[in-house]
Amino acid sequence: MEKALVLFFGLLVFTSCDTINNDVVQEDECDLPSELIQEIASYQPTVNRIIDSVTKGKHRGQPYKLLEDFIDKFGARQAGTKNLEDSIDYVFDLMRKYNLENVHGENVTVPHWIRGHESAEMLQPRKAKIAVLGLGGTISTPPEGIEAEVLVVRSFDELNQPNVSAAAKGKIIVFNNDYITYGKSVVYRSQGAVKASQHGAVAALVRSVTPFSMYTPHTGHQSYRDDVKKIPVASITVEDAKMLQRYQDKGIKAVIKLHLQSEHYPDATSRNAVGEIVGSQKPEKVVIVSGHIDSWDVGVGAMDDGGGAFISWYSLALLKSLSLQAKRTLRVVLWTAEEPGFKGVHQYEKDHKNELDNFTFVMESDEGVFTPLGIEYTAGVRGGCVLKQIVKLLEPINATSTKYYDSVGSDIAIWARKIPTASLYNTNENYFWWHHSDADRLEVLDPDNLDKATAVWAAVSFIIADLKDEFPREFNDISTLSNSKIIETLNTLKQKPTR
């Protein structure tokens, strides 16, 4: 059942950058009470304090500097490793140093898969090294490796054609699917091994899920099935996938020798990292800000999701330093083991099932921390109108836009259309250039952007937590919305497959 849930939510979640979607409500369609509009507008001096403190004052550059120290100390933070747990302890110390309350960890059982030696070499029609990166959870090849002819396909439909399926037995299947969007293309990474094995392949190589490559393979989670023989699976670069396609199109036989070594250890115990600013009047009501603290084992996880994690906990540190205590509790949660299948948030939902009705609003940054533009959200028309009024106050940093989606975030998509949710809307069009690759380094982020994003995160979460009335807990019935209220929407929940 757990695997089914992981796959379901894996196929359900993210891609704000996959589909351009106009906001669900237009400005002239909002009909909020004047008292509420005036109440939100009254926060402008507070928002200005927040912005000035982190973009001009003593907090300027601190989110980046603290992230830099963290990244340089720990690097990659893979689920199941001691390094991840040490990094969580380090963040606990930071939260306490900045006077957050109720700092603690909540245990989560996580998988523990470790990459070993990996190599691939093309033996025919010429000898050449092939850059390869095992996909998460892959089994090993035999010690001597696997040497086999390559069969290149562009899609699952092509593989299913009778003549292609018959030719697949004993081959290494290469999936050379074009990048369309992350949500559409990543299915080849998550399901490639299963699909290839069903046709008798001995291994699978998947073209990296990226729109741009400088000969960089990209890893990520993949899911085996208990009823299908497990075969080794890895990613290769866009360049090599295209090269192998050219050989095949010309009738030239290609042979690859593949070595993948990995270890599957018993499940380990990790922790969701939690800190709070307890509410002054309605402490049982909670607004959550979040990111995930784990990463893949390649690169250093600065972008995915070090930046999102650090603007989340530091936004509370910023509010605390400004003596800003909202009526409701502000809670930061740094999810663990997001990459191997959203383990942290699933456990959190189980542990807090009796508290979910008190979650006023949930925010997550896991789409990069680049130039902030505003807020992406999942809420009803009235909630969208409230957010429009709030982000108007962010005009000093030009972050006044809102975008509606049926589902936002990665972990928090588990609550899509159950709890109002939001993600950071930012200029992340190049996010998948570096995603899950050795190129995910600190240098793709910018200190000023982290400052501004922290301001967005702190201001929006504080206002929602401090408003007199609860944030509207309603959702749009897409089937009944008029064209004047929705210009373009998704027909199904947006995807952010298992990462």
Nearest CA-CA partner of 64 in 306, 266, 255, 282: 306
Quote the pLDDT of residue 170.
Answer: 98
Distance CA(148)–CA(152), nearest Å, equals: 13
Question: Block means of pLDDT (10 residues each) for the chain, length 499 residues?
Answer: 37 39 65 96 98 98 98 98 98 98 98 98 98 98 98 98 98 97 95 98 98 97 97 98 98 98 98 98 98 98 98 98 98 98 98 97 97 97 97 98 95 95 97 97 98 98 98 74 35 36
What number does CATH give the domain 2-111+267-480?
3.40.630.10
Distance CA(397)–CA(25), nearest Å, equals: 23
Cα dihedral sign, 164-165-171-174: positive
- How many of the other CB atoms lie within 10 Å of CB of 467? 19
Quote the pLDDT of residue 27.
Answer: 62
| CA distances in angstroms from 6 to 16, 316, 333, 334, 345, listed in the order given | 20, 30, 20, 19, 11
Is residue 452 within 8 Å of 313, Cβ to Cβ?
Answer: no
CATH of 126-253, one of 3.50.30.30, 3.40.50.300, 3.30.70.100, 3.60.15.10: 3.50.30.30
Quote the pLDDT of residue 29.
Answer: 78
Q: Report strand pairing: 128-129 vs 401-404.
A: unpaired
3-state class percentages of the chain: helix first, strand second, coil last, to nearest 5: 35, 25, 40
Is residue 404 within 8 Å of 24, Cβ to Cβ?
Answer: yes
Those residues whose C-beta lies under 8 Å from the C-beta of residue 176, and which sit 6 or more positions away, are 152, 153, 154, 207, 241, 242, 244, 245
Distance CA(212)–CA(198), nearest Å, equals: 30
Distance CA(478)–CA(495), nearest Å, equals: 17
At residue 367, the 3 state secondary structure works out as: coil
pLDDT digits (tens, 9 = 90+) for 342-370: 999 999 999 999 999 999 999 999 999 99
338 is catalytic: yes
pLDDT digits (tens, 9 = 90+) for 88-146: 999 999 999 999 999 999 999 999 999 999 999 999 999 999 999 999 999 999 999 99
Distance CA(459)–CA(202), nearest Å, equals: 53
φ, ψ for residue 174, nearest 5 deg: -110, 120
Residue type, 162: P
Quote the pLDDT of residue 476.
Answer: 76
- Structure-token match 């972008």, residue found: 303
Quote the pLDDT of residue 168.
Answer: 98
Quote the pLDDT of residue 25.
Answer: 65
At residue 44, the 3 state secondary structure works out as: helix
Any idea where the domains of the chain sit in the sequence? Answer: 2-111+267-480, 126-253
Q: Which two tokens stand for residue 304?
A: 């995915």
Distance CA(401)–CA(460), nearest Å, equals: 13
User: How many Å is the maximal CA-CA distance in the chain?
Assistant: 74
Element (H, E) at 132: strand 132-134
- How many of the other CB atoms lie within 10 Å of CB of 374? 25
Those residues whose C-beta lies under 8 Å from the C-beta of residue 72, and which sit 6 or more positions away, are 442
Element (H, E) at 308: helix 307-321
User: What's the chain's Rg over C-alpha atoms?
Assistant: 23
Quote the pLDDT of residue 371.
Answer: 98
118, 338, 339, 364: which one is catalytic?
338
